Structures are given as structure tokens and as C-alpha cells.
Amino acid sequence: MNRIIDLGKYIEIGINALEENLSFLWGAIDDGISWTVDRMNDLLLSVPFGVFLLIVVVLAWYAKSGRLMFKKEGLKKGIGLVSFIVIGLGLIYAMG
């Protein structure tokens, strides 16, 4: 197929130019993102699964039901979300 404007070629040229001329910036961005991901990973792995599950369930229940959290209406509003979270995170935990 004959293309009038080969957009992919020009995008590739632009990306290569940015990689060559701004490699220090990409390195700094990569280092910052890697550091953040590593710290979040360390934080999440330091908390036992049961405690993490309880925190997530309580926060989701409160976000769903608000001030009605400990009333019958709040229980009705939040039970579906809470059960979905418990089942989903339980399956993820069971996978290893």
C-alpha cells in the first residue's frame, strides 16, 4: 500500500531524537518511577494479607455506605462490594 504520509516513520524519528538528546531526562524519570514502585512494593509486602484485606474492605465499605456504615441500610449497600472484594482478593492470594 502506498502511503501519502508515513506517520509511523516520522514518529519513530522523533522518538529516536528524544532518546538521543534527552537521555538524562528519561533516565531520571525511570529512576523516579522505579524508586516509587519499589517502595510501594516493600510497603505492601510488609503488611500481612489479613490486615491488608481488612483495611481494604473497611475502606470500601465506608466509601460505599458512608455514615450509614453501621446501620441496616449501610450493611445492605456495602455487602455486595465487600463480598466481591473478599472473593477477588482471596482468589488472588490463593494464586500465590
Whole-structure pTM over 0.95, yes or no?
Answer: no
pLDDT at residue 1, as a whole number: 62
Q: Are residues 14 and 4 in the same domain?
A: yes
Over range 5-32, report the average pLDDT: 89
Distance CA 45, CA 3 (A): 51
Identify the weakest region by mean pLDDT among 1-5, 32-36, 51-55, 71-75: 1-5
Predicted confidence (pLDDT) per residue in 32-65, tens digit: 999 999 999 999 899 999 999 999 999 998 888 8
Q: Residue 42 is part of which domain span?
A: 1-46
Report which of residues 25 and 70 the model is more confident about.
Answer: 25
**In the block, residue with C-alpha cell 532518546:** 19
Domain identity same for 95 and 54? yes
Count of domains for the chain: 2
For residue 2, the SS3 value is coil
Three cell numbers at 58? Answer: 473497611
**Cα–Cα distance, 69 to 13 (Å, whole number):** 56
Q: What is the pLDDT, as a whole number, of residue 28?
A: 92
* Cα–Cα distance measured from residue 2 to residue 88, given in angstroms and rounded to the nearest whole number: 49
In terms of domains, do 58 and 89 share one?
Answer: yes
Half-sphere exposure of 83 (CA within 13 A, CB side): 6
Residues 41, 58: one domain?
no
